[in-house]
Amino acid sequence: MLLETDTISQLDIAQIRSDFPILNEVVNGKQLVYFDNAATTQKPRQVLDALAGYYEHTNANIHRGIHHLAEKATAEFEASRRRIQKFMNARLPEEVIFTYGTTDGINLVAQTYGRAFLKEGDEIIISTMEHHSNIVPWQMLCEEKGCVLRIIPINDAGELLMDEYEKMLSEKTKFVSVVHVSNALGTINPVAQIIEKAHAVGAKVLIDGAQASSHIDIDVQALDCDFYAFSLHKLYGPTGVGVLYGKEEVLNAMPPWRGGGEMIKEVTFEKTTFNELPYKFEAGTPNIADVVASKTAVEYLEKLGKEAVADYENYLLEYATDALSSIEGLRIVGTAAEKISVISFFMDGIHHQDIGVLLDQQGIAIRTGHHCTQPLMQRFGIPGTSRASFAVYNTTEEIDRLVSGLLKVKKMLG
């Protein structure tokens, strides 16, 4: 079937859709429309095959065995690390630490770098639009160490007030941790500028790339960030795998976090010496199968071409913004000049949860609520929004279904 959108993009969207078996699901009698991609993307057949293939032909524990399967599993696991190193242009594979997700990576930095190097009175800067996973670990650290959390404000469009950020920076600033792309608003933040200004006062910087990694080219060397965290499940890969990039010298200076197997060099009851990077931060048996399948996910996205994918998603964003704006009483929250394909909105007099339930009855999956950004919702004076977020397999036909779905909701409850 040729889709209208096939003629717009250089990508073969119908072919791409056929890679994602879940898109054939029927929900409440209708073909599924999946617009909850900012929460997690669906997985292509290639990733599902890589997962099953690992368990069918390779499964063994890594780094320890000398038998055939153990060596094969180790080789596949380390090949994934090198592939992801290339994906984010890290200087060394040792700078790529496998975690369980973005949240895990940020906690690792707060609990190791933060506990070792931050002290009472030091300032940590985050922003108003952070996900809870880039707020709470820093609050916990501040509580323990007596550090001060400072918050970059935003304007009504959902853009950081960079002047205010610059005013906040001083010799007291020891750490800056900001989101690359907001999950609730879609705003793309000027992270290169944020990093440069933070480094000028000697602060280290972590970028939360959970939403950026599938939409934007990530080059950690060009950005010059000290840490970059993301989750593979938002990038067409499996759940339970994240990546924490850290500069080699910074990671080497940090104490380990979780103790156990793999992260040690030698253990006696008197003293333990720790392993080298990256293993120092990878205690215990990791999520081997999902790490291996993550390589396939990255390759899938890169084969499509990140630029072509971004162009197509931007086209969907513009189409949806125009279409949703035509609905009377619907207001879009997050209208930054630079944004990815996320639209948060609310409708006059209709609770976001009712919108979500009634769309679900029509087979349309969106996200409703505070999107793990309660302070951001407080900034806008709202309890939550409805959010549609688009991925490369979505189409304008699906957006048309969303619009007619919302018109139905309005007729029933508006």
The reply on whether position 189 binds ligand PLP by CB under 6 A is: no
Q: Using CB under 6 A, which of the segments 41-49, 100-108, 160-168, 343-351 binds ligand PLP?
A: 100-108
Q: Which of 5, 112, 211, 214 binds ligand PLP (CB under 6 A)?
A: 211
* Cβ at position 210, least distance to ligand PLP in Å: 3
Candidates 80-88, 98-106, 110-118, 148-156: pick the segment binding ligand PLP (CB under 6 A): 98-106
Active site residue 142: no
Question: Considering beta carbons, is residue 183 or 341 the nearer one to ligand PLP?
Answer: 183
**Binding of residue 208 to ligand PLP (CB under 6 A):** yes
Interface with ligand PLP (CB under 6 A), residue from 154, 195, 210, 350? 210
5, 9, 74, 103: residue in contact with ligand PLP (rule CB under 6 A)? 103
Stretch that binds ligand PLP, among 128-136, 157-165, 216-224, 378-386 (CB under 6 A): 128-136
Name the one residue in this structure whose structure tokens are 């291996």: 292
Smallest distance from ligand PLP to CB 373, Å: 8
Name which of 77, 151, 141 is nearest 106 in CA terms.
141
Q: Are 213 and 306 in contact (CB under 8 A)?
A: no
Of 366, 242, 379, 392, the residue nearest 302 (C-alpha)? 392
CB of 101 to ligand PLP, least distance (A): 3
> Site residues for ligand PLP, window 33-52 (CB under 6 A)?
none
Establish if 183 lies at the interface with ligand PLP (CB under 6 A): yes
d(CA 180, CA 186): 10
Q: How far is CA 366 from CA 323, 400, 413, in A?
A: 16, 14, 18
- 215 near ligand PLP (CB under 6 A): no
CA dihedral sign of residues 192, 198, 200, 203: negative
Least gap, CB of 208 to ligand PLP (angstroms): 5
Could you tell me which of 184, 192, 152 has the C-alpha nearest to residue 168? Answer: 152
Which runs of E-coded beta strand occur in 220-260? 227-231, 242-246
249: Cβ–Cβ under 8 A, 6 or more apart, which residues?
Answer: none
Query: Does the protein bind ligand PLP through residue 386 (CB under 6 A)?
Result: no
CB of 222 to ligand PLP, least distance (A): 21
Give the active site residue among 142, 147, 225, 372.
Answer: 372
Q: Are the beta carbons of 324 and 343 closer than 8 angstroms?
A: yes
In the list 43, 63, 81, 131, the residue contacting ligand PLP (rule: CB under 6 A) is 131
Contact call for residue 101 and ligand PLP (CB under 6 A):
yes
**Single-letter code of the amino acid located at 76:** E
| CA dihedral angle for residue 92, residue 218, residue 77, residue 22, rounded to 10 degrees | 180
Contacts of 205 (CB under 8 A, 6+ apart): 175, 176, 177, 178, 194, 195, 198, 199, 225, 226, 227
C-alpha pair distances (Å), 64 with each of 73, 262, 291:
10, 9, 17
Among 84, 179, 333, 406, binds ligand PLP (CB under 6 A): 179
CB 59 within 8 A of CB 69: yes
Residue 76 or 130 having the CB closest to ligand PLP? 130
Stretch that binds ligand PLP, among 57-65, 110-118, 127-135, 387-395 (CB under 6 A): 127-135
Mapped onto helix, strand or coil, the DSSP state of residue 272 is: strand
Contacting ligand PLP (CB under 6 A), which of 231, 362, 385, 395? 231
Residues with a catalytic annotation lie at 372
Q: Which residues are near ligand PLP by CB under 6 A?
A: 101-103, 131, 133-134, 179, 183, 208, 210-211, 231
